[in-house]
Amino acid sequence: MDESAFVLIVEDETAHGEAMAEGLKRSNHICRVVPTGAEAVESMKQRPPDVVITDYRLGGGLDGMDVLRAAKREVPECEVILITAYGSEQLARDALSRDNPDRAYDYLIKPIDIDVLRDKVDRAGRQAITARQNRELRQQVDQAFSFEGIIGTSQALAREIKRVRRLARTKSTVLIFGESGTGKELIAQAIHTNSPRKNKPFKVANCAAFTETLLDSELFGHVKGAFTGAYASRKGMLEAADGGTLFLDEIGDMPLAMQAKLLRALENGEVMPVGSTEVHHVDVRFVAATHQDLAAKVEIGEFRQDLLYRLHAGGAIRIPPLRERREDIPLLVQHFIDRCNAENHTEVDGIAPEAMRKLTQYSWRGNVRELRNVVEQMCVETDRTTLGVEDLPDPVRGCTDIVPVGFPNLAGLSMADVEKLHIMNTLKMFGGNRDKTAKALKIGARTLYRKLNDYGLR
């Protein structure tokens, strides 16, 4: 298997226990052998196992069923494999019953076939590791900031959300920069919802979706007979948004003639419908967005500098692309899984670590929108409860993108915060594998577990 499982072997015949451990170590599992149930319980508290292999009959006060119950109490995600003697299979089968609240994963009959043992431990380990990582991911989702549907933990996004909260309370025009799919409209909606205008209209106009004539009519309205097909007068978006907020998406595509007319509306609230000489006045808060470099368009004469200054009056929001905040991808994946379950009645409870690594490494040129579509497609089309690599679309599954590793700005953080951040990032790099993380950090596994407890990362 891709992940090394920590396997606790409970066997009062030491030679048998060591033989099983030796066979499992060849599959890169990490094993610990203890002779009694009491020592097994103590070991679970020191280091939670992924898999427990326990003899049904043990010397001492605790038998295999006691170990099973203790394991499910101490480490709910771990899987337990019982070992029983020939003729006692019914006892083990009872432990596997769906009616058993402390259900075992599987059982083996002595003498043990090491290949069968490896196969069962591989499968049990994968299931346990996936369950643990999904539980940890849900905890991260719960702890992550969520603002009007915008989810993340990255400093880059948190910095912009803080700016959004501040600007929302003002009357100023806001300009949002961001690639396609990053959530510019979501940010605009958040500004409106958290502003004093929240009970007034929020209107959206996509400047790239209309010709110049149609955009003029869309924004400013028209009077009857203003152009062919204008059979009746019609209010534009500006009048419809009076008292509220107008979101001008892809404003970099607005024709120059329209930019001049928009500038007058921005400065004086003046609205003149197409075909009319009558000026109306409106009270509208403008939020604009673009994926283009407007300063560069000013240089080549395709965008008005005075309009750019006016749009920048309140401030600018720069939404980082998903590839610059990859640490948010696992949180977004879990959020989209939960949303798809609620909206489409799917029954996906998580995602396998290798599939998550593939999603994290992908370039996501379509940003959050593309990620959402991919996760929803996976949830709808899978026949499993845990999404795996086989559920990924071909471009993601076959991706060989190299993820650049940058150095965050740690200025102002305490040494404890730096250590916590470093441990979190290393855990993410190894898909939550704690043994690989400990080796990479050059600390003992017990030290890592203690730090995870100290920092609330377990």
Q: What pLDDT, on the 0 to 100 scale, is given for residue 229?
A: 72
CB atoms within 10 A of CB 266: 18
pLDDT higher than threshold 70 for residue 61:
yes
The tokens 């579509």 sit on which residue? Answer: 373
pLDDT higher than threshold 90 for residue 90:
no
The tokens 């400093």 sit on which residue? Answer: 155
pLDDT per residue over 34-54, tens digit each? 999 999 999 999 889 999 999
CATH class (in words) of the domain with range 155-319:
alpha beta
Q: Lowest mean pLDDT of 97-101, 281-285, 323-327, 375-379, name the range.
A: 97-101
> What percent of the chain shows pLDDT beyond 70?
90
pLDDT per residue over 357-390, tens digit each? 899 889 999 999 999 999 999 999 999 999 999 9
| CATH 2.30.30.30 for the 6-140 domain, yes or no | no
User: Taking a C-beta distance cutoff of 8 angstroms, is the pair 105, 127 a contact?
Assistant: yes
User: Helices marked H in 284-328 — which ranges?
Assistant: 294-299, 305-311
Q: Do domains 6-140 and 155-319 have the same CATH topology?
A: yes
Give mean pLDDT, residues 297-305: 95
Q: What pLDDT, on the 0 to 100 scale, is given for residue 251?
A: 95
Cα separation values, 150 from 85, 156, 174, 186, Å = 56, 13, 18, 8
For residues 354 and 191, the model is more confident at 191
Structural element, H or E, at residue 9: strand 6-10
Q: What pLDDT, on the 0 to 100 scale, is given for residue 411?
A: 46
For residues 76 and 142, the model is more confident at 76
Q: Output phi, psi for 151, to 5 deg.
A: -120, 140
Give mean pLDDT, residues 143-157: 75
The pair of three-digit structure tokens given for residue 329, joined into one six-digit string: 């991808």
The tokens 């209209």 sit on which residue? Answer: 201
Q: What pLDDT, on the 0 to 100 scale, is given for residue 178?
A: 94
Q: What pLDDT, on the 0 to 100 scale, is given for residue 404?
A: 44
Please give the Cα distance from 423 to 440 (Å, whole number): 10
pLDDT per residue over 198-214, tens digit each? 999 999 999 998 888 88
Cβ-based neighbours of 117, under 8 Å, separated by 6 or more? 20, 23, 24, 53, 108
Indicate the pLDDT class of residue 92, thresholds 50, 70 and 90: low
CB atoms within 10 A of CB 155: 14
Q: Which CATH number fits domain 323-397: 3.40.50.12780, 2.40.40.20, 1.20.1260.10, 1.10.8.60?
A: 1.10.8.60
- What is the four-CA torsion angle of 83, 88, 94, 97, rounded to 10 degrees? 60
Please give the Cα distance from 171 to 314 (Å, whole number): 8
Give mean pLDDT, residues 112-139: 85
pLDDT higher than threshold 70 for residue 449:
yes
For residues 142 and 188, the model is more confident at 188
The topology under which CATH files domain 415-454 is: Arc Repressor Mutant, subunit A (1.10.10)
> Structural domain boundaries of the chain?
6-140, 155-319, 323-397, 415-454
Q: What pLDDT, on the 0 to 100 scale, is given for residue 154?
A: 82
Indicate the pLDDT class of residue 260, thresholds 50, 70 and 90: very high
Residue 285's beta-bridge partner residues? 245
Q: Lowest mean pLDDT of 164-173, 218-227, 303-312, 339-348, name the range.
A: 218-227
Indicate the pLDDT class of residue 436, thresholds 50, 70 and 90: confident
Sign of the alpha-carbon torsion through 98, 42, 431, 182: positive
Please give the Cα distance from 445 to 430 (Å, whole number): 14
